[in-house]
Amino acid sequence: MPTAAAHRPVSKDPLPPSTHRVSGGMLDPRQLATSLPDALRKLDPRVMVRNPVMFVVEVGAVLTTLSAIKDPSVFAWVITVWLWLTVVFANLSEAVAEGRGKAQAETLRRAKTATMARRLPADWRPGATGLSEAEVAATELRLGDHVVVEAGQIIPGDGDVVEGVASVDESAITGESAPVIRESGGDRSAVTGGTKVLSDRIVVRITSKPGETFIDRMIALVEGAARQKTPNEIALNILLASLTIIFLVAVVTLQPFAIFAGAEQSIVILVALVVALIPTTIGALLSAIGIAGMDRLVQRNVLAMSGRAVEAAGDVNTLLLDKTGTITLGNRQAAEFLPVSGVPVEGLADAAQLSSLADETPEGRSIVVLAKERYALRGRTEGELAHAEFVPFTAQTRMSGVDLDTSRSLRKGAATAVMRWVREHGGHPTEEVGPIVDGISASGGTPLVVGEVTRQEGTSTARILGVIHLKDVVKQGIRERFDELRRMGIKTVMITGDNPLTAAAIAEEAGVDDFLAEATPEDKMALIKREQSGGKLVAMTGDGTNDAPALAQADVGVAMNTGTSAAKEAGNMVDLDSNPTKLIEIVEIGKQLLITRGALTTFSIANDVAKYFAIIPAMFASVYPGLHRLNIMGLHSPTSAISSAIIFNALIIIALIPLALRGVRYRPSSASSLLNRNIVLYGFGGLVLPFIGIKLIDLLVQFVPGLH
Amino acid sequence: MAGSLTRLLRHHLAALRMLLVFTVITGIAYPLVVTGIAQAVFPHQANGSLVKDGGGPVASSLIGQRFNLPSQKGQPSGSPDPKWFQPRPSAAGPAGYDPKSSGASNLGPNNAGLVKAVRDRRTAVAAFDRVPPSSVPPDALTASGSGLDPDISPAYAYEQVNRVAKARSLDPAAVRKLVAEHVQGRTLGFLGQGRVNVIVLNHDLAALKRR
Amino acid sequence: MNETLAGWLQILALVGALALSFRPLGDYLAHVLTCPRHWRVERLVYRVGGVRGDADQPWPAYLRGLLAFSAVSVLFLYAFQRLQNHLLLSVGTKPVAPDLAFNTAASFVTNTNWQSYSGESAMGHLVQMAGLAVQNFVSAAVGIAVVAALIRGFTRKKTDRVGNFWVDLTRIVLRVLLPISFVMAIVLVAGGTIQNFHGIQSITTIAGDHQSITGGPVASQEAIKELGTNGGGFYNANSTHPFENPNPFTNWLEIYLLLVIGFSLPRTFGRMVGDNRQGYAIVAVMGLVWAASVAIVTANELHSVSSSAGHAAGGMMEGKEQRFGIWASALFAVSTTLTSCGAVNSFHDSYTPGGGGMTIFNMMLGEIAPGGTGSGLYGILILAIVTVFVAGLMVGRTPEYLGKKLGAREMKFASLYILTTPGLVLVGAGLAMALPGERAAMLNSGQHGFSEVLYAFTSAANNNGSAFAGLSANTAWYNTALGLVMILGRFLPMVFVLALSGSLARQQPVPVTAGTLPTHRPQFVGLLTGVLLIVVGLTYFPALALGPLAEGLR
């Protein structure tokens, strides 16, 4: 089942193993058979004419058919059959590429089956209750309608949650079975039609017109119905069309030359020569390459809204990457305990651990773990400390901690907050704390100050015990990834809300080229515009509504599926896994798409040399025996030589379909070394391979009666 | 419509005026100035490097000539005169060496007519100069590009020495010496090809006879 | 000194001289094409000519000026020839026949200088110097003007202005072509090239025969004929004629002159785009192709046994001058067919199948190594664009050359360009071969006769002008067909180049990164050469197989 690949869960943390290779789905031979009817349907000249190269082959095939009917011979029929096969193979490649999309669309459609919606009246406002609901079909929902969805029901259309919170199963779209939380307000308010509410009740404001929902667009995209030729594809098509015209002229004008030489050629041979020369290999596979490129993105759970966006991804000069989640693991972790003088480090560790026992934030947990690992302090459970009263973090106090009993309280939190707390309890924070805190900040870390109040016989002593150093942890392997990007000529810019000091330290550690600290959406926008004014293409990820303008401005804007619908509207790609690291993979897929086109074009043109050496002596050695010396492959006879060239020409298309679908191997490296590799492989390979292939085919077909 | 026509006309009128300006500068002034300087500084070369004999010019040292016996009726030219060093075959005009119709034979490298002509010339020249056919050099057998080539190879010149000396009753050694004096090496030692100017050689040969 | 060593020295001296002129001439040309100040005499030209020299033009206006100027030139030259008997210095010539006058006008305006006439008998001195030679100047300048506009397309950003045609034309003529031609004309006279206004002078020869010595302002025309890669000889025999090309030194100088602008323009290009290495890469491709071609033609001509006439004569001297010999003739033949010059110092029709076939192939390459003045550079830049497009895809980016993206619009014009010339060559030759009457114009028979026709259309479409001169091309059909082919082969590509220039100039340049395909390295030189050879080879292989290849592989 080809769709299985699409729903493969993608590991998020740490980075997906960098195999230096963008891999794609395999080609199942059965697909060839199932796509055959589609391939035959595409023989309609009105469809074929959109691909000038293959249209010429089809016209040629019609001509040879007529000629073969008029003057039947084994040779004429062999050529005719193989010309038709050439056209069918080309259509087959496109049909197979589309077929994979169709299968995916099928799964999506199942999610779209006639849902009913519970529409609220137009005067509904958040908080209003007791209003009557109307039961309507999902297709009748209009922009701005409000609908109620409760546990077990399917969300009838794309929209934003305006009331309530619910867990939603989005596996129909993302393939991820773990439910996600969707709530009103904030950046997790977007819901997608066709997904299922698992718990609670939400009110959704519909943000898409019927037929234009996310799922509709997805279906259209993967089916290829919305596929338009991309700018680069158009440019390549122009070049291929002009090469086709040149070869057509070269062959048509050859006839008067041949007549003068006393070697008038039959229609069959002339058509065979044209087909052998025009760039059929790339002409046949061009649209499959484009469809497969989009498909490879879909397999990575990324939806590109246009092929243009995929191409642009290959051209990106600057990547804007959010620090959190992309460069660093989502959370900071305790890295060190720094006691003030007079406090043993174990004491600080113990205090820190105690204060964090009830702290379920990742930071809190990391403190417990650090204390346990470094100072062998066992993790105590809450129950152990029966009388302890835990003080949770609040935005007002900006600290959390524990009151063990009446005799001892511990607090950890922002330096100013904890110091104020110590002072309030009559203590005097030592001078030492300041430099420690500043030092940690300067290195990009976050200082958490630990304070203690002990009460004995009515008097309380308050003091600072020390500082916990919380650190951003840079993802493993990210540095190497950035080095790779640099070799590809791509600049990375880290976007963070941290202060410049912190940002600089992390940037240094992660190896990004630049950073934008204390970034506001406006800063981000300005940065994008600045880069673009220098002619650079910018890619970014975003999820919040305030990212929307920047996403729209960026050349490649990847919206997280968890994000708001505004963000998803603004970007030109949506990452269903909401994994910001994927931007790097998207760039690689974009490049791979262009490389595949270039490589097969080179291959296709290089092939012609061998075909000339097969066909020209076959055509003219009878009148100019000297030309027999051009038959360097030693082909058996003129008819077997021409047949072999045409059969090779057709078979190479089939042979290259998997490559077209998978894309050529791509290793991130400099332009020069990439080019060298591809020239050797596809240029020289394309030059040599047909000599061997045609010779081998000739060794077989020479035994066909009528071809010698 | 009328407006665009006037605009088109105006365009072309400006273009014509520019063309006339360039015609005056590069087509009139330039050649006149070059001629003026040429005539003042290099009058001999500018006027065709003429070779004078007594009064009038008898040749341009750059333009080859026929050295034939008077022609028979119906023949464009006579047979080669043994008293003169013979130039290369010429395709300029039916008789050859006609500056009013310079040019080559333009016969292809495998043209049967050319092959035959070369073979016939080899036989004829060998008989004329009384040398073995295999020793006749290529320049004696092939027509030049201009049809006005004033030069032959030193080999061809030396080949003709005995015949000329005999026809003129001169000491072959003296003629050979004359040829040797007229052999020009490559210009600057490496440009072009070594050669003997038949015009100058024959002109000096005539003088040798008188001596 | 032996022949081989002398031959090599002759080539090396030429390469050395070209290398020495590369920087100064290239830089000077760049200065001329970019400097903001006009000379006083130039202002005078603009005023008298009634054109504006102070503002840059968008590409359509630039093209309009160019086409108007060329159209007027064709008409003017046509009228000049038709009326020449009424003019001064007609030296007894008659009006030129209409079809021939059209062919000749088209030929000189397009920088082709194909000659269906014989200079010494058909044209008066005034037509030669004030008609034909004027076009030698301006048609060469037009070529350089077009490439200047193309280069500006690369260097400018977000503008629709590609330069001012009248300024480019005037400056190139007055600041470059005229001064160099002037000096070189004097040098040629010193070497023996004639420069006078004599008519035909009858003399009694040394042997007592009669001979007519021709006159004319030859040196002044000869200098610009080579420098402007025009190639139209004062005489029918062109540079084989001793009055045009009297000795081995003038011969060497003429080869130098016809190559020097073509080989220096890449420097101009590098300078103008602000990266000299880009120019080195281009000149390297030109040099490689030229050197390989020199080696092939020379080797073929020295190997006389490869043809029956050469075998019979013991040397390939048919159609070659004694003073030049094989080496200097092959060097000239290659240089003239690889530029769009078309002057000849030996007749290619009588070359070996290998040598003569190579001169055809040289022209088929599109006159780009180094090509005609200006046209050679824009031709190779178009090929560079095609190369960058395919290679650029293979590095995974939308292809860009010199910071400009090669999208659909750019590829449309580049594709039309590469389509035009082969189309004209093949359709023209195909028609000629299909018409029995026109086939009869061949002098030679069989494969070689076909080569004559193929050569004619290759030469006309590529604006070369040389010929396998056995073909009797002075017929109404050939004059008309070749005239049209020359005009289309010249101006259609110019339209595409200027349109391309306009589309490049509008773009905002893309910055160069490690991911950009480098276009200044040996890798690119090899690639561009490969694309050139493969694309041209594939296009013309069948035709060549029936001509020179069939003749050579006997």
Secondary structure (DSSP) of C260-317: HHHHHHHHHHHHHHT-HHHHHHHHHHHHHHHHHHHHHHHHHHH-GGGSHHHHHHTS--
Cβ atoms of A609 and A581 within 8 Å: the answer is no
Tell the residue number behind the tokens 């976050």, with chain if given: A446
Q: How far apart are CA C270 and CA C26, in angstroms?
A: 9
Give A-chain residues touching C523 at CB under 8 angstroms: 672, 675-676
Sheet harboring B183-184: ordered strands across? B151-152, B195-197, B183-184
Could you tell me where the DSSP H helices lie in A135-279?
Answer: 171-174, 214-223, 231-252, 254-261, 267-277
pLDDT below 70 — which residues of chain B?
1-2, 209-211
Cβ atoms of A511 and A478 within 8 Å: the answer is yes
Burial (CB < 10 A; 0-12, 13-18, 19+), residue C218, is buried
Cβ atoms of C142 and C169 within 8 Å: the answer is yes
Residue A260 has what pLDDT?
Answer: 94
pLDDT tens for each residue of C470-527: 999 999 999 999 999 999 999 999 999 999 999 999 999 988 888 888 999 999 999 9
Q: What is the DSSP letter of A323?
A: I
Interface test with C, best of A254, A319, A596, A607 (most C CBs within 10 A): A254
- Put simply, the answer to whether A598 touches C411 (Cβ < 8 Å) is no
Residue B54 has what pLDDT?
Answer: 79
A residues 251-280 lying closer than 8 A (beta carbon) to C: 251-261, 273, 277
Cβ atoms of C29 and C264 within 8 Å: the answer is yes
Give B-chain residues touching C71 at CB under 8 angstroms: 12, 15
pLDDT tens for each residue of C54-81: 889 999 999 999 999 999 999 999 999 9
Is some CB atom of chain B closer than 8 A to the CB atom of C345? yes
- Put simply, the answer to whether C204 touches B137 (Cβ < 8 Å) is no
Long-range contacts of A702-707 (CB under 8 A, 24+ apart): A702/A636, A702/A637, A702/A640, A704/A74, A704/A78, A704/A640, A704/A643, A705/A74, A706/A73, A706/A74, A706/A75, A706/A78, A706/A639, A707/A74, A707/A75, A707/A78, A707/A636, A707/A637, A707/A639, A707/A640, A707/A643
Per DSSP, chain C holds a count of helices (H) and strands (E) of: 22, 6
3-state secondary structure of A555: coil
Give C-chain residues touching B146 at CB under 8 angstroms: 235, 237, 240-242, 321
Residue C227: both structure tokens together: 């420098």
The shortest C-alpha distance from B79 to chain C (Å) reads 13
Residue C433: both structure tokens together: 């071969």
Residue A34 has what pLDDT?
Answer: 82
3-state secondary structure of A492: strand
3-state secondary structure of C404: strand
- Put simply, the answer to whether C550 touches A624 (Cβ < 8 Å) is yes
The shortest C-alpha distance from A618 to chain C (Å) reads 12
What is the separation of C-alpha C295 from the centre of its chain, rounded to a whole number of angstroms?
A: 21
SS3 readout for B16-33: HHHHHHHHHHHHHHHHHH
Cβ atoms of C544 and C426 within 8 Å: the answer is no
C residues 402-431 lying closer than 8 A (beta carbon) to B: none
The shortest C-alpha distance from C520 to chain A (Å) reads 11
Angle, helices C276-302 vs C325-338, to 10°: value is 140
Q: Which residues pair with A320 in a beta bridge?
A: A493, A540
Side chain identity at C444, as an amino acid letter? N
Q: How far apart are CA A117 and CA A112, in angstroms?
A: 13
B residues 138-157 lying closer than 8 A (beta carbon) to C: 138-139, 141-153
Cα dihedral A522/A524/A527/A532 (nearest 10): -100
Q: How far apart are CA C156 and CA C312, in angstroms?
A: 60
Is some CB atom of chain C closer than 8 A to the CB atom of A606? yes
Residue C173: both structure tokens together: 């003529």
pLDDT below 50 — which residues of chain A?
1-25
C545: pLDDT strictly greater than 70: yes
Per DSSP, chain B holds a count of helices (H) and strands (E) of: 7, 5
Residue A230 has what pLDDT?
Answer: 83
The shortest C-alpha distance from C81 to chain B (Å) reads 15
Assess whether chains A and B touch, using the rule of 3 or more C-beta pairs within 8 angstroms: no
Residue A220 has what pLDDT?
Answer: 74
Cβ atoms of A330 and A362 within 8 Å: the answer is yes
Cβ atoms of C170 and C255 within 8 Å: the answer is no
Find the CB nearest C248 among B23, B107, B192: B192
Cβ atoms of C188 and C169 within 8 Å: the answer is no
Nearest CA-CA partner of C551 in C471, C455, C470, C449: C449
Q: How far apart are CA B20 and CA C73, in angstroms?
A: 10
Chains sharing 3 or more CB pairs under 8 A with chain A:
C
Interface test with C, best of A252, A257, A483, A679 (most C CBs within 10 A): A257
The shortest C-alpha distance from B92 to chain C (Å) reads 9
Angle, helices C476-505 vs C59-82, to 10°: value is 160
- Put simply, the answer to whether A598 touches C408 (Cβ < 8 Å) is no
3-state secondary structure of C493: helix
Q: How far apart are CA A501 and CA A294, in angstroms?
A: 40
Find the CB nearest B15 among C72, C189, C237: C72
* Closest chain A residue to the Cα of C433, Cα to Cα: A256
To the query of whether residue A322 is one of the catalytic residues in this protein, the response is yes
* Closest chain A residue to the Cα of C554, Cα to Cα: A626
B residues 165-184 lying closer than 8 A (beta carbon) to C: none
Strands A159-163 and A190-191: antiparallel
Residues in Cβ contact with B123 at an 8 Å cutoff, skipping those fewer than 6 apart: B133
- Put simply, the answer to whether C516 touches A671 (Cβ < 8 Å) is yes
Most confident of A90-94, C252-256, C432-436: C252-256
Overall average pLDDT of the C417-421 stretch: 96
Give C-chain residues touching B42 at CB under 8 angstroms: 186, 189-190
Q: How far apart are CA A587 and CA A311, in angstroms?
A: 9
Residue A132 has what pLDDT?
Answer: 79
Catalytically annotated residue among A158, A322, A543, A547: A322
Cβ atoms of B63 and B148 within 8 Å: the answer is yes
Q: How far apart are CA A375 and CA A673, in angstroms?
A: 51
Interface test with B, best of C57, C121, C201, C206 (most B CBs within 10 A): C206
Find the CB nearest B58 among C138, C191, C206: C206
What's the angle, vertex CA C553, arms to CA C551 and CA C554, rounded to 5? 75
Residue C469 has what pLDDT?
Answer: 92
Tell the residue number behind the tokens 């008997």, with chain if given: C85
Tell the residue number behind the tokens 């934008």, with chain if given: A516
Residue A279: both structure tokens together: 């760039």
The shortest C-alpha distance from B173 to chain C (Å) reads 23
C49: pLDDT strictly greater than 90: yes
Q: From its phi and psi, is residue A405 left (phi > 0), alpha (psi between -120 and 50) or beta?
A: beta
Give C-chain residues touching A241 at CB under 8 angstroms: 415
pTM, rounded to two decimals: 0.89
- Put simply, the answer to whether A535 touches C511 (Cβ < 8 Å) is yes
Find the CB nearest C186 among B15, B34, B62: B34
Give B-chain residues touching C222 at CB under 8 angstroms: none
Is some CB atom of chain A closer than 8 A to the CB atom of C439? yes
Q: How far apart are CA B166 and CA A482, in angstroms?
A: 94
Nearest CA-CA partner of C237 in A505, B104, A358: B104
C408: pLDDT strictly greater than 70: yes
pLDDT tens for each residue of A182-198: 887 766 778 888 788 88
- Put simply, the answer to whether C69 touches B186 (Cβ < 8 Å) is no
Q: From its phi and psi, is residue B39 left (phi > 0), alpha (psi between -120 and 50) or beta?
A: alpha
Residue C180: both structure tokens together: 């160099």
Burial (CB < 10 A; 0-12, 13-18, 19+), residue A682, is buried
Q: How far apart are CA B60 and CA B150, in angstroms?
A: 9
Residues in Cβ contact with A100 at an 8 Å cutoff, skipping those fewer than 6 apart: A2, A25, A31, A292, A295, A661
Overall average pLDDT of the C107-125 stretch: 93
* Closest chain C residue to the Cα of B24, Cα to Cα: C130
Looking at every residue in chain C, the average pLDDT score rounds to 95
